[in-house]
Amino acid sequence: MNITMTNRQGKTLSVTVSGQENAPVIIFSNSLGTDKNMWQPQVVALEQQFKVVTYDTRGHGQSDVIEHTTLQNLAEDVIDILNGLNIEKAHFCGISMGGITALWLGIYHADRFLSITVANSAAKIWTTDGWNTRADAVIQNGLADLVTTTHSRWFSERFDYQHNALAQRTIQSLAVTPAAGYAESCRALAQADLTAEIKNIHIPTLIIAGAFDPVTTVADGIFMQQQIQGSELVEIEASHLSNIEQPELFNQTFIKFVESVQ
């Protein structure tokens, strides 16, 4: 079921709900420059057992571009979705940008989540100057240059992304992401730094790191695991979009964790 929802700023978010109506809820959050369809392997694996919610992060897919976006805004969109769907608590899984969104939710809205999964992410992703420079470049020149090189960041050399339909569709989703939406997320990430705060997370937390990820490294995962009491770190032989490159292993890891929390 595809739904258009309104957030607290009066803007629309594109949401998809599938699976079992009265089952535990899992909500997935996409990475920068992608859309909710990147979670297709997880939705297929989980919808027979869970209620599964995916959504296009603001400025991506079919969701509105919203000016002056912050990490807090990205996270509060999730709370607005839960409220709009009358969901009291959910398991939350985010990758990259969605992963740091998971951390913010774990710090400030832990009461709404059974668990968080932080995949291919970090408490501080890249650098402030790097993100702001990229945002400026995208506004000026569009996303074409990023599209031609993104496969080297998203997928490892071991993965035949050229013959994987979902990988190709995900790269295409970057090509059609609004430049303004991408840039707004870049600026949000530029200011997002939770390194001093993640020690305050006390709900069940799974951290998934990609062994070949050049963007958010295994070292980033180790740091988070050391800071978040009781958290679990699993390393997967993949690059930045580990849920697409290694879907079976990602699913096994995630399902085992979620079932341990219930």
CATH number (domain holding residue 23) = 3.40.50.1820
How much is the pLDDT for 238? 98
**Residue-wise DSSP of 4-31:** EEE-TTS-EEEEEEEE-TTSPEEEEEPP
* Cβ pair 30, 92 in contact under 8 A: no
Closest-CA residue to 39 (of 257, 242, 259, 240): 242
How much is the pLDDT for 262? 65
Measured CA to CA in angstroms, residue 57 lies from 20, 94, 148, 231, 241 at distances of 23, 11, 22, 26, 16
Beta bridge partners of 119: 95, 208
Q: Is 186 exposed, middle or buried (0-12, 13-18, 19+ CB in 10 A)?
A: buried
What single letter denotes the amino acid at residue 196? A
How much is the pLDDT for 27? 98
- Say how far apart CA 70 and CA 119 lie, in whole Å: 20
* Cβ pair 81, 5 in contact under 8 A: yes
* Cβ pair 213, 238 in contact under 8 A: yes
What single letter denotes the amino acid at residue 244? I
Please tell me what DSSP assigns to residue 223.
Answer: H
3-class DSSP assignment, residue 206: strand
- Say how far apart CA 195 and CA 193 lie, in whole Å: 6
Closest-CA residue to 210 (of 165, 250, 160): 250
- Say how far apart CA 48 and CA 45 lie, in whole Å: 7
- Say how far apart CA 205 and CA 106 lie, in whole Å: 9
Residue found under tokens 């949000």: 188
Instruction: Tell me the angle at which helices 128-141 and 179-191 cross, rounded to the nearest 10 degrees.
Output: 170
Work out whether the CA dihedral 61, 90, 116, 232 comes out positive or negative. Answer: negative
Domain ranges, residue 178? 2-261
Domain count, the chain: 1
pLDDT in tens, the chain (262 residues): 999 999 999 999 999 999 999 999 999 999 999 999 999 999 999 999 999 999 999 999 999 999 999 999 999 999 999 999 999 999 999 999 999 999 999 999 999 999 999 999 999 999 999 999 999 999 999 999 999 999 999 999 999 999 999 999 999 999 999 999 999 999 999 999 999 999 999 999 999 999 999 999 999 999 999 999 999 999 999 999 999 999 999 999 999 999 999 6
How much is the pLDDT for 172? 96
Question: Count H helices, E strands: the chain?
Answer: 11, 8
> Which tokens sit at 157?
């050399």
How much is the pLDDT for 197? 98
